[in-house]
Structure 1
Amino acid sequence: MLRDGNEDSAYAGPHVLAVADGMGGHNAGEVASAAVIEELRALDTDVPQDRLLSMLEQAVRRANQKVHDLVEADSSLQGMGTTLTAMLWSGSRLALVQIGDSRAYLVRDDVLYQITHDQTLVQTLLDDGKISQDQVATHPYRSMLLQALDGRAELTPDLQLHSALVGDRYLLCSDGLWDVVGPEAIHKILTSVTDPEHAVGNLTDAANAGGGPDNITCVIADVIDLDEHESH
């Protein structure tokens, strides 16, 4: 199930993995997410490990400025913005950035971990013990983001540094997936479908089968042993 106008954008390259979920009517969300992904795509090159976090943060701030400039140039884009969940890789190290409610998951040793924290009002209420997990799905403000790339100056990206292990599988996805497909189903697909492209297809099918009212975007990266891979 897709809304009229797909407002998600994604990129998967050798060094960069990114998902952006745009918001704003009349295709403005598409403009925002595409602009942000374009900025991340430019990072897809060899990056020194000690500069992963700084380069990823700089790219995010450039992307936010680009959204600002687009709105300044065209008032019809006022109010547009986008989430962003992205990874920048160098060898076995990766930097991860989170803005909004797109998510990153990791499967390691057959266990699924959510490695990002939703920047939403309901997540904050849940963290503070003001609502229960059962109340999240029906909360009237469940879609309210606390942060997005919307061109405003006050931006606090959630940045992390991780070590990747051979055999790890990473999934980045918009809320169009995780809001409909639960963690058990995500885990089952990620651990049973070897080919990343097929796994993406199965996840998308599961979200559609669940009546997903939102756009569904996801990308998957598998960590492999390059020496072993090249010897075959």
Structure 2
Amino acid sequence: MTLKLRSAAVTDRGLIRSGNQDSVHAGDWLVAVADGMGGMAAGDLASKIAIEAIAPLDAAVADDELVPRLQAAVETASAGIRQAIAEDPAREGMGTTLTALLFAGSGAAIALAHVGDSRAYLLRGGALEQVTRDDTFVQMLVDEGVITAEQAASHPRRAVVTQALQGENVNPAYQVFEPQTGDRWLLCSDGLSNVVRAESIAEVLATYADPQAGAQRLVDLAIRAGGPDNITVVIGDITEVTADIAE
């Protein structure tokens, strides 16, 4: 038996925004979410550049190449955004979050790259864990003990990010995990996490066996909660397959 990644994604502009600045990738080896910022056209472009930079990683990669490949792709995305700004100074200030998971060809490792306030969650053994740390002003306040996590959820400045891909130096977080059969990963833009409680997210992930149906349900919940922002959801399941099917 070997482990494989099975993924599905849903993205929606929500009920308030006139367009969708999120970009997404859901493949056999790679899943990623990018949430653009800095004006409608520029936000669209920044998230598109990020996903186009990382999408070529969607192939079998050796365990020890996971993080270096992600790092190189992030650098490519940053350079692409920098070039886009140079071509049109009106784009100054545009940027994007990026949260991505790259699954090893061996099935023995999975690596995470993260910058911004999109999130990655892991449902394992019935327990949901937020794996990423938000690069936001309010998260800094929580870390410093100024406010609680509950207060952060409704803070008026909760959408202020402290770093994102904007063509300048950035310090993304990278982590490597050992996947287990039955793991369910969720990547999402803050259009979901800002309006749907973690308990509700966990319930959906535990209830909907089909990742496409689960992703759609989460988007529907965000829309029911007012859909004030673009909403993007990717679910990635770690499953076992027999060797002959894997080939």
TM-score exceeds 0.5: yes
- Check 1:194–1:229 CA distance in 2 against 1; reply closer, same or farther (3 A cut): farther
- Residue equivalent to 1:85: 99
- Residue equivalent to 1:180: 195
Aligned partner of residue 85 in structure 2, secondary structure = helix
The answer to whether structure 1 residue 199 and structure 2 residue 240 are counterparts is: no
Q: CA deviation at 1:76?
A: 2.3
Aligned partner of residue 235 in structure 2, secondary structure = strand
Tell me the percent identity: 45
The answer to whether structure 1 residue 125 and structure 2 residue 132 are counterparts is: no
Cα RMSD for the two superposed structures: 1.4
- Residue equivalent to 1:32: 46
Post-superposition CA distance 1:161-208 (Å, at most 9, x none):
011101000000000001011111000100001110000110000000
The answer to whether structure 1 residue 221 and structure 2 residue 221 are counterparts is: no
Aligned pairs, number: 230
Q: CA deviation at 1:77?
A: 1.5
- Residue equivalent to 1:76: 90
- Residue equivalent to 1:18: 32
Q: CA deviation at 1:92?
A: 2.7
The TM-score, its normalising length taken from structure 2, stands at: 0.90
Residue 5 of structure 1 contacts residue 27 of structure 1 at CA under 8 Å; is this kept in 2?
no
Q: Which runs of 5+ in 2 are unaligned?
A: 1-14
The TM-score, its normalising length taken from structure 1, stands at: 0.95
The answer to whether structure 1 residue 137 and structure 2 residue 153 are counterparts is: yes
Distance 1:132 1:201 in 2: 31
Q: CA deviation at 1:137?
A: 3.1
Residue 21 of structure 2 contacts residue 40 of structure 2 at CA under 8 Å; is this kept in 1?
no
Q: CA deviation at 1:2?
A: 4.4
Distance 1:96 1:26 in 2: 27
Residue 21 of structure 1 contacts residue 83 of structure 1 at CA under 8 Å; is this kept in 2?
yes
